[in-house]
Structure 1
Amino acid sequence: MPGTISHPLFLTFPAWNMYMDPWHDARWIGTGRPSRRIGIRKAKHATGSRPAPMLRREFTVAGPVQSATLHICGLGYHDAWLNSRHVGDHVLDPAQTDYESRVFYAVHDVTGFVRGGQNCLGIMLGNGWYNQDRVWGKQGLSYGQPCLKCALHVASTTGTTQVITSDEAWKWAPGPVRENNIYAGEIYDARHEQPGWDAPGFDATGWKRARVVTGPAGKLEPQPLPPMRRIEEMVPKAISSTSDGACIVDFGQNFAGWVKVQLDSQVPAGTRITMRFAETVAADGRLDTGSTGVFATRVEQVDTYIAKGEGTETWEPRFTYHGFRYVEVTGWPGELHPRNIAGVVVHTDLPTAGSFTCSDERLNRLHQMALWTHRSNIHGIPEDCPARERCGWLGDANMVAEFSMWNFQARSFWEKYLDDIETTRARNRGIPANIAPGKRGTRGNANPDWAAAFIMLPWHVYVHHGDPAVLQQHWAGMNDLMAHYRRMAMNGWILQDGFGDWFDPGAPGIVKHTPPSLTSTLWFYRCARVMMDVARVLQCPGLAEKYAGWSERIKAAVIAAYYKPGPSGTGTFGSQTANAMALAFGLVPDGEASSIVTSLVDDIIQHQVHVTTGIMGIRYLFEVLSEQQHGDIALALMRQDTYPGFGDLIARGATTLWECWGEPEHDRVHGPRSLNHPMMGGFDNWFYTSLAGIRPDPARPGFQHFFLAPCAIDGLEWVTCWHDTPKGRIASEWRRTGTALEWTVQVPPGTTATITLPLSKQKQELGPGIHHLVDKPVESLVPCE
């Protein structure tokens, strides 16, 4: 036709060539519209109010299909359909990165989707993190408008392959997702649906031609970690009504995801149903959105569905997620029943790698709370909370990484996050920022205690998985960070800056019990010791000697500045956190370990068996107490029912770990605190390393050799625990039988274990297999018949 441009529908070439370059001539395409500086619900400075575009491409396949593979990157998020069938089970794809450094794509096997003859590929694009500057309000957070790059490889039985790529032959139209923002939610108007738009033969009159656009500067890479998925659906525990006619749905559990709604019968077209999300309700039963961060983000989490008026309608969002337990529903036609609404749990789908249960229901509940909290905060990055900031704070990540590795097959997740930290180094003259990835909070160097994650995380990955490649990959940056520490410390070896033991009891953000200079310098010491070990692994003896020397100087400086010898063998670094960290890191004066332990226990007793720890102390306190034969004190702290204690949080309705210990003063001064915050979850290591007694051997990483030494605390009757390692499953199960203890141990093939019996303290070397042991105080090891 006159005035039209002809585009080839596909390329044809021998099938064996298809893997040489999966993208071929694929281009970044989009609507070509400039950014619109009005955000969701008319927010100042924000992008994202335009409808999410739908893009489609019809193509013809000649002959029978042998295989078909789709390579796709749709930013910020994308959903794909082929011949009206949804492609894959990923949601919120791809995972967040700094899009100026790297961009992930997914690969889907769509062999069963493509047929000989006419076909259609349809893509819907959301803003995601790529086009978000609605929250943290400053312009410049957005990387650009939503865009698409894809290549569909279709191999025929004749030995040729067609490649359908993103180019200007595609067409687009605004879709039913009228607005979407990762923080603020989604507005979906079903009246704008176009049935059949993703099928061949659809009348696309009125659709516009896609434009080649400038895509992200980052390198396209295959997504290296598991995708986000719909994990499970939650049934409401209760539905109530407020005086103004709103429905309050309580799912009984704080989690991250969204809700799915179903209209049972036809309602008038244009019926508007609004869902507001929160972690708690006020005393009068109304929704209380304070803890979700409205004071900081200036937005509430709100989804809106506008009905099309055509019988039964089912909907759930696709380009946002929320942190919540409660949902306020307004505009629902008639009575809202549990069958009409379900909670959908959504997070990065990390396979399970461990399990812990014991005879104490408090401990089991705390373990489950920690797991729910962690799962709520893994959406491509380790987040601080799923409702408010959703940022990858380095300090928070450092406190939970080991706990994550015990419970989940999380290697790829943490290696991806380490690469995110590397991208902040590139923006920041070689030093990590406090937050990774993206543009949020990346200006300026990370505080030294938070930056320690960049040294500790590679080490944890190495110890748990045994591959030194992660150390080699980040070795240069780790050395740069140590040099930065040294410059900060000057000649005194003491670091002055730091966030400190964040949210210890009674302190609104600024720590009360432990000087940040002390915790930062303790991390400086710990990092120096780790760098010494890494240098040995990487066969850099000169650097190993250097960092060994640094660690001795830091140790001497800390002892001189902070250690206070006391009467009757009660030396102290001044707080529960300081003493626990010093003992855990091995930074104690010669011969003074028992004095510090005594001071630590005395401090706990003086506080009526309460913690005075924030995120750092809570990570190490319980392990240290158990190692020093005070497991009974650790158990008493876990069982503490009054403030500050875990039981107090449970009594207040907590189903996940909170950002603080529940002080109203925090809420008054800084706004309500998050009720789903993993940074306090480091205590969960104790279940694996102390109660089950499973510990890796850094000298033989990846559990080639490991230690088993359970702490059989009086008051616990049994423990059952397993952990899947690169070598296979380790299991540790013990049970009291009178004065004896029966212990079953599983050692994977190709490994050895050094065990310490919990009552007699006898040691033994075990090889692969399942071993049944009986232990009695001060008696010999007796095989179990």
Structure 2
Amino acid sequence: MELFVNKLKEPINIDVNPVFGWTLDAEDFYQKAYQVKVYSGDETVWDSGKTLSDNSVCVEYEGNKLKSNSEYRVEVTVWDTKGNEYKGETRFESALLSQSDWHGNWIGMGDKYISSWAFQLRKEVELEDKKIRRAKAFVVGLGYYELRLNGEKVGDHMLDTAQTEYDETVFYATYDITDKLKKNNCFGIIVGDGWYHQSQLMNGAGIYGKPCAIMQVNIEYEDGTTSEVVTDWTWKVDYSPISRNNVYTGETYDARLEQEGWDEPGFDDSKWFEVVEDTRPKGKLISQLMPPIRVVKEIKPVSITHPQRGVTVFDLGENFAGLVRLKTIGFPGNEIVMRFAESLDETGMIDVTSSGVFHIRGVQTIRYIVGKQGEFTYTPKFTYHGFRYVELTGDFASQTVETITGLKMNTDLRQTGHFECDMPILNTLHQLLYNAFTSNAYGIPTDCPAREKCGWTGDANVIADTSMIIWDSFHFWDKYMMDTRDSKKVYGIWQNVMPGKRGCLDTVPAWGCAMINIPWYTYLTYGDKGILERNIEQMIAYHKYIHENTTDLIHNDHKYPLADWAAPYGYNSKEHFKQTSTAFFYMATVIIAETLKVLEKKEDVVEYEKLAERIKKKFIETFYDFENHTYGTQTLNSFCIELGLYDEGEDVKMCKWIVDDIKKHDGHLTCGHLGLRYIFNVLTKYGYNEVIKEFFEKDDYPSFGEQIKHGATTLYENWGVSNNQSYNHHFKGAFGYWLYNDVLGIKNTGIAYKTFDVKPMTIDIIKKAKGSIDTVYGRIEVDYSVGEYFKVKIPANTTATVYVPNKDLTYVKHVLSSGTYSF
């Protein structure tokens, strides 16, 4: 029996009401009752009593008020319908539950701060000479920080903490440092600009304030006494060797400015400055429950070339987001420069066009100035890049594969979806989707890692439900919804880009409906009503905003008419903006009605259901071409079939129009980011799998095959292979939903896969497939070869309807409880 607290394993940073869940590995298991007990030491702070319920994913704590920075033990007993009893145990710790629990101050350099120059803070502390039972550090630096203790980095977080709308919310991190403390200690904090002091773009309009930091260390001794260390006026500060840092354009590290031992006890800081309290108002400090950004993979070069004298280019073999570690030999004052790009030009030099130099006003660049002669190793701290190729100049040593190591970084989301089949291009595309999404999971869902690095709501809207299958992303999306709520509070409008100061006008429905769709998708995937409760007010408000921007239920024009982005053949989104926006208005209305049912606010449901009927009627009357059975594009037909925006019987004809239009385009799709989420589902539903197969066999424009032939290791923003685009855009990967829903055949028919179907729908073109989804109930596994074998694993406390395919493409239906089955 595996237990979770707020969907985390033994967390030490809970600052919200605990929610308990558990999974079991048991056959033919249906839960009849549970009992949850929570203890603080020997005291029982909550006993749910034996509760008749099959709920095993979201049991809310209803006990005594939790105390800050305290330990709790959880016992769960479960009974099944056969009378069997199961027991499990876990633990969790609370973080700082109130702003008044913070006893330190925000500190920085004050007027001595130089823009883009990172600084370092230090404080020596002598502790009492007695055994420490427990010690935790709560810390954040704005924009980014690195915590150091006695000469070593604490933890493995990178670019910490996640970007937020800082005037409303600031995340802090929590570390267990019990084993790192000594009698004499030195705490150090290096502070960089991050997103809090984004000076590169918008002529300084992206700046919230000057970088600063706050920390509190709570220490508990074996004898029951306590002490704490906080940031205050007694700390000292000085400039670090990082003389320039920017999330977009890179970092300069001058090793000649290193002060050896600065973060260790006994260092002479008499020439350092006194810190200055930073009094600029900031948002509420809350614990970051979402996983931090970490280095998740090290990548070695696959080739090393010298396209010009003194220039070395390393090909790391794949496009990704992160950093590099440099290991070489130098002499004092020698400047080594690394530049980063996604592609090469015809001479073998890096081509920085796709990295958006026009946008970021520079090239992704790292400069290292050698301090001492000899070998050194260096990894940047407060920037990251989107790249495959590294150009190295100024290094006079011999370059080898050990000179440069790629460090792939992202918000460390656990992979929950796995997929493979006997159509090789689908396996490749699944990997490209994996690479693209993780490259854009950086505390927020960004659009691309080399150019904008922004939280475009349209990208999030289209990829969210797919990502929830492949990654454990509940806290990732819960946090992003918090960002959207905070952004509205700060700027007074819902922006196309959130969080942050870039904004890009008030959002349009195909983008802004992320604020309605994502909470709903998250509830359907994870079964936690809390995300609906936290967002229902905004969902209703944004729906009202859409409604107010319609005339006779049809959406009005907008100065930024975003619709099916990056569609081929010169598609003009303005021509279909009203159709797309009104379709999303309908979708939003239906989802809010369903959300209100879940929240048991049934008195409001009828209003939205009636409105949905009116929108549907008006939409069809206004936009549908009854003679040709179309809304005008493959995307709109697919989307509207998915939504049910058609009169009875027209769906079949609409799909036939899609197929005819694909044939008209010589087997190619005309979809942009939005259409790719729906078109494969629709073609499969109506039996046009051969059309899908033909598309995936294409290797000319516009096709995935063309881009794979071009060497793609991620998904491109546009169709084609032009360098004047981002080569790492996850929003083109929403087809991943189809891979799991139709190729593997795993369809969520209830809430959080409490009930689900397994019915592969592409067996006429795909004969073998294998994969799994880790749900909140446990892992669903499917492994089949049509007409030969069919294996399925069903997690405890769920029911599956399984359709086993025969060689003649018929199915045999089975309704199954938990267990592992072979047919």
Deviations 1:614-646 (A, max 9, x none): 011111011111111112222322222111000
Residue in 2 aligned with 1:734? 784
- Residue pair 2:104, 2:231 contacting (<8 A) in 1 also: yes
Q: 1:285 is matched by which residue type in structure 2? A: G
Residues 287-323 of structure 1: per-residue CA shift (max 9 Å, x gap): 1101001012211100011112242200010100000
How far residue 34 of structure 1 moved from its aligned partner, in angstroms, is 5.9
Distance in 2 (CA, whole Å) between partners of 1:548 and 1:715 is 39
In the alignment, structure 1 residue 458 sits paired with structure 2 residue 487: no
Cα deviation 1:121-146 (Å, max 9, x = unaligned): 111111100111212x2333111111
Q: Residue 385 of structure 1 aligns to which amino acid in structure 2?
A: C
- Tell me, yes or no, if the aligned pair for 2:444 and 2:455 is still in contact at 8 Å: yes
Q: Aligned-pair distance for 1:533?
A: 0.9
Structure 2: 5+ residue stretches without partners:
1-66, 71-95
TM-score after normalising by structure 2: 0.86
SS of 2:549's equivalent in the other structure is helix
SS in 2 for 1:560: helix
Distance 1:34 1:198 in 2: 21
* 2:160 alignment partner AA: D
Q: Look up the match of 1:30.
A: 108
Which of these residues, 83, 95, 99, is aligned with residue 166 of structure 2?
99
Structure 2 match to 1:191:
256
Task: Measure the CA separation in 1 of the matches of 2:229 and 2:288.
Answer: 21
Q: Are the counterparts in 2 of residues 632 and 713 from structure 1 also a CA contact under 8 Å?
A: no
Tell me how far apart the structure 2 counterparts of residues 24 and 521 of structure 1 sit (CA, whole Å): 48
* C-alpha distance 149-492 of structure 1, shift in aligned 2 (>3 A): closer
Q: C-alpha separation between the residues in 2 aligned to 1:647 and 1:214?
A: 55
- Mapped to 1, the partners of 2:273 and 2:557 lie a distance apart of 59
In structure 1, the gaps of 5 or more residues are 1-15, 37-46, 774-785
- Assess if the C-alpha contact under 8 Å between 2:68 and 2:101 holds in 1: no
For 2:801, what is the secondary structure of its paired residue?
Answer: strand
For residue 748 of structure 1, what is the aligned residue in structure 2? 795
Equivalent pair of 2:162/2:443 in contact (CA under 8 Å): yes
Amino acid of the residue matched to residue 318 of structure 2?
Q
Answer yes or no: is the 8 Å Cα contact 2:410–2:439 preserved in 1.
yes
Instruction: State whether residues 191 and 308 of structure 1, in contact with CA within 8 Å, keep that contact through their aligned partners in structure 2.
Output: yes
Among 628, 637, 649, the alignment partner of 2:707 is 649
- What's the offset of the Cα at 1:224? 2.0
The partner residue of 1:85 within 152, 169, 191 is 152
Distance 1:474 1:261 in 2: 45
- For residue 709 of structure 1, report the CA deviation from its aligned partner: 1.3
> Structure 2 vs 1, CA of residues 83 and 360 (structure 1 numbering), >3 Å: closer, same or farther?
same
Q: Could you list the per-position Cα deviations for residues 25-62 of structure 1 after superposition, in whole angstroms to 9, with x for gaps in the alignment?
A: 200011112665xxxxxxxxxx42x3x11111001111
Q: 2:403 aligned with 1:345, yes or no?
A: no
Cα distance per residue 1:195-245 (max 9 Å; x no partner)? 111111111121111111124510000012000001111000111012242
Q: Which deviations, in whole Å up to 9, do the C-alpha atoms of 1:492-526 show, x marking residues without a partner?
A: 43444430101100237x438x6121111111111
Aligned amino acid, residue 162 of structure 2: A
Relative distance call for 1:492 and 1:750 in structure 2 (3 A) is: closer
In 1, the alpha carbon distance for the partners of 2:428 and 2:374 equals 43
1:52-131 alignment runs, 5 A limit: 52-63=118-129, 64-116=131-183, 118-131=184-197
Distance (whole Å) between structure 2 residues aligned to residue 485 and residue 180 of structure 1: 40
Structure 1: how far apart are the matches of 2:778 and 2:300? 35
Q: Measure the CA separation in 1 of the matches of 2:470 and 2:487.
A: 28
Q: Which amino acid aligns with 1:53?
A: F
Q: In the alignment, which residue of structure 1 is the partner of 2:459?
A: 396
Identity %: 36
Runs of 4+ in 1 over 6 A off after TM superposition: none
User: CA contact under 8 A between 1:99 and 1:216: conserved in structure 2?
Assistant: no
For 2:691 and 2:113, how far apart are their aligned partners in 1?
A: 59
Asked if the contact 1:750–1:768 (Cα under 8 Å) also holds between the matched residues in 2, the reply is yes
Partner of 2:437: 374
Q: Which residue in the other structure is 1:5 paired with?
A: none
- Counterparts of 1:652-663 in structure 2, within 5 Å, are 652-662=710-720
- Measured in 2, the distance between the counterparts of 1:458 and 1:406 equals 15
Question: For the Cα contact (< 8 Å) 2:710–2:721, is it kept in 1?
Answer: no
CA deviation profile, 1:429-472 (whole Å, cap 9, x unmatched): 4x521111111116x42112211111100010000011111111
Number of the residue aligned with 2:496: 434
Distance 1:139 1:684 in 2: 39
- Which residue is equivalent to 1:41? none
1:602 aligned to which of 641, 656, 660:
660
Counterpart amino acid of residue 537 in structure 1: V
Match of 1:517 among 561, 574, 578: 578
Cα distance change on mapping 1:678 and 1:583 into 2, 3 Å: same
Q: Classify the secondary structure of the residue corresponding to 1:241.
A: strand
Counterpart amino acid of residue 340 in structure 1: T
Q: Are the equivalent residues in 2 in contact too, given 1:26–1:165 (CA < 8 A)?
A: yes
The 5 A counterparts of 1:130-141 are 130-135=196-201, 137-141=202-206
Q: Could you say which residue in structure 2 is the equivalent of 1:692?
A: 744
Contact kept in structure 2, 1:190 and 1:305, CA below 8 Å: yes
Amino acid of the residue matched to residue 399 of structure 1?
Answer: V
Given candidates 542, 545, 561, the residue that maps to 2:622 is: 561
Contact kept? 2:162, 2:292, Cα under 8 Å? yes
The answer for the alignment partner of 1:405 in structure 2 is 468
The equivalent of 1:633 in structure 2 is: 691
- Corresponding residue SS for 1:757: strand
What is the distance in 2 between the residues matched to 1:216 and 1:624?
51
Contact 1:503–1:511 (Cα < 8 Å) also in 2: no
In structure 1, distance between residues paired with 2:597 and 2:154: 47
Query: C-alpha displacement at 1:719, in angstroms?
Result: 0.2
Task: Give the 3-state SS of the residue equivalent to 2:580 in structure 1.
Answer: helix
- After TM superposition, give the deviation of residue 24 of structure 1 in Å: 4.1
Paired residue secondary structure (2:525) = helix
Structure-2 residue corresponding to 1:540: 601
Q: Tell me the distance in 2 between the aligned counterparts of 1:748 and 1:496.
A: 48
- Superposition map of 1:40-59 within 5 A: 47-48=115-116, 50=117, 52-59=118-125
- Deviation of 1:716 (Å): 2.1
Q: Residue 259 of structure 1 corresponds to which residue in structure 2? A: 324
Per residue, is there more strand in 1 or in 2? 2
Please report how far the alpha carbon of residue 764 of structure 1 lies from its aligned counterpart in structure 2 after TM superposition. Answer: 2.9
What amino acid does structure 2 have at the position aligned with 1:26? G
Match of 1:613 in 2: 671
Is 1:269 the equivalent of 2:365?
no
SS at 1:138 equivalent: helix
Tell me if structure 2 keeps the 8 A contact 1:83–1:200: yes
Counterparts of 2:68 and 2:669, CA distance in 1: 63
Measured in 1, the distance between the counterparts of 2:166 and 2:609 equals 38
How far is 1:190 from its partner? 1.1
The two structures have a TM-score, normalised by structure 1, of 0.90
State the alpha-carbon separation in 2 of the partners of residues 17 and 437 from structure 1: 29
DSSP 3-state at the match of 1:277: strand
Query: For residue 707 of structure 1, what is the aligned residue in structure 2?
Result: 757
Whether 2:725 is the aligned partner of 1:673: answer yes
The answer to whether 1:235 aligns with 2:300 is yes
CA distance in 1, matches of 2:101, 2:141: 14
1:496 and 1:543, CA in 2 relative to 1: closer, same or farther beyond 3 A? farther
Q: Is the 8 A contact 1:275 1:328 kept in 2?
A: yes
Question: Given that residues 485 and 495 in structure 1 are in contact (C-alpha distance below 8 angstroms), is that contact kept between their aligned partners in structure 2?
Answer: no
- Which amino acid in 1 is paired with 2:502? R
Counterpart contact for 1:23–1:165, Cα < 8 Å:
no
- Does the 8 A contact of 2:198 with 2:204 survive in 1? no
